[in-house]
Amino acid sequence: MNLGSTLGSESDPMFRVPTIKSARELESMRAAGRVVAEVIDRLKKVLEPGVTTGFLDMEARKVISSRNAEPSFLGYAPIPGAIPFPGVICTSLNEEIVHGIPGDRVIKDGDLVKLDVGAVVGGFHGDSAVTLIAGEGDAKKKELVDLTRRALEQGILAARVGARVGDISAAVEGLVRPRGYELVREYTGHGIGRRLHEAPQIPNVGVGGQGPQLRAGMVICIEPMVNVGTWRTEVLDDGWTVVTADGKLSAHFEHTLAITPDGPEVLTTL
C-alpha cells in the first residue's frame, strides 16, 4: 500500500534520497516486519464471511499493542491538511484497490479482501499487504490473487544489489500484462525506514535497466496492484478509498524487503 506515497512530501530530502540502514537499524526493521507478519497471520485466521472490516481492525490493534509496537497508518496524513487515516489497517474489498477504511461493513462469502498492515518498532516501519478470499471464491478471483502474489515474488527476485528500480517494475509488468491484466500506475511501492514512505518510488510498470540503483542497506516495499480491467483509479468521497475506475476487481500484495549482498531479505514474514 502506499498511503499517499505519490503525494506531497517530495520537497523533503528524506523523501528524495534513499536511506541506507545500518546493521542495527536493520534489526529494528526486522522486528517491525515480524509484528506486521504476525498481524497478517492473525487476520488470516479470523477472516470469514460475516465479520466486519472493523473487527479485523480491532484484531490488528490487539496484536500490535501486545508487541509494544505502534500502528503506522492510524492518523497518517500524506500532506498537511489531509484527512488523517482513521484505521489501524486498511481493508479494501473487491473493486477497492487500497486505502479502504475499516468500519461496520460486513464481509460476504466470496469477497476479495485486501488487508494492508503497517507497524513501527524502535522508530522503524514495516509494511505488508495480502489479498484473501472470504469463504469460497470463484476461479477468476483465485487466478487474480495467484497472479498478483506471483508478481510480488518476481519483483522481489529482481531486487538485487546493483539492479535498478526499473528491473523490479519490468519483472512485475512482464508477468502481469501479457496475461491480459493491468497494473495500477498512480500508486507505487516505495522506500521505507523511519518514514513510512521514502525514496525511491517503485512503480509496477517500467523498463529494465532504468531508474535508481539498488544498494545494500536499502529497504523497500514492492506492492503490485493488479486490475482485471483498466489501470485507472478513482478516490471515493471518504478521501481515502481508492477504487478501480471501471468497478472491476483488483488484488494487492506487498512485502517490505532489505537489499543485501546475499539477495533480497523479506522482513515482513514469520
Footprint of Mg ion on this chain (CB under 5 A)?
1-2, 116, 127, 129, 221, 254
Closest residue to Mg ion, based on beta-carbon distance: 1
Residue 96 in 3-state DSSP?
strand
Q: What sections of the chain are H helices per DSSP?
A: 13-16, 23-46, 53-66, 139-157, 165-176
CB of 3 to Mg ion, least distance (A): 7
Which CB atom, from 83 or from 106, has the smaller least distance to Mg ion?
83
| CB contact set of 133 (below 8 Å; sequence gap of 6+) | 110, 111, 112, 113, 141, 142, 145
- Three cell numbers, residue 252: 494487492
Q: Are 48 and 134 spatial neighbours (Cβ–Cβ below 8 Å)?
A: yes
Q: Are 211 and 169 spatial neighbours (Cβ–Cβ below 8 Å)?
A: yes
CB of 257 to Mg ion, least distance (A): 12
Which CB atom, from 115 or from 133, has the smaller least distance to Mg ion?
115
Q: Which amino acid is at 147?
A: L
Which CB atom, from 31 or from 117, has the smaller least distance to Mg ion?
117
CB of 244 to Mg ion, least distance (A): 18
Q: In whole angstroms, how far apart are CA 130 and each of 28, 72, 255, 258? A: 22, 17, 9, 19
Q: Which of 149, 126, 76, 142 is nearest to 258 (CA)?
A: 126
Which CB atom, from 16 or from 179, has the smaller least distance to Mg ion?
16
Which CB atom, from 1 or from 113, has the smaller least distance to Mg ion?
1
CB of 124 to Mg ion, least distance (A): 14
CB of 118 to Mg ion, least distance (A): 6
CB of 73 to Mg ion, least distance (A): 8
Which CB atom, from 129 or from 258, has the smaller least distance to Mg ion?
129
Q: Are 77 and 85 spatial neighbours (Cβ–Cβ below 8 Å)?
A: yes
CB of 269 to Mg ion, least distance (A): 15
| CB contact set of 251 (below 8 Å; sequence gap of 6+) | 112, 114, 131, 144, 145, 147, 148, 225, 226
CB of 197 to Mg ion, least distance (A): 7
Which CB atom, from 33 or from 217, has the smaller least distance to Mg ion?
33
Q: What number of helices (H) and strands (E) belong to the chain?
A: 5, 15
Which CB atom, from 2 or from 250, has the smaller least distance to Mg ion?
2
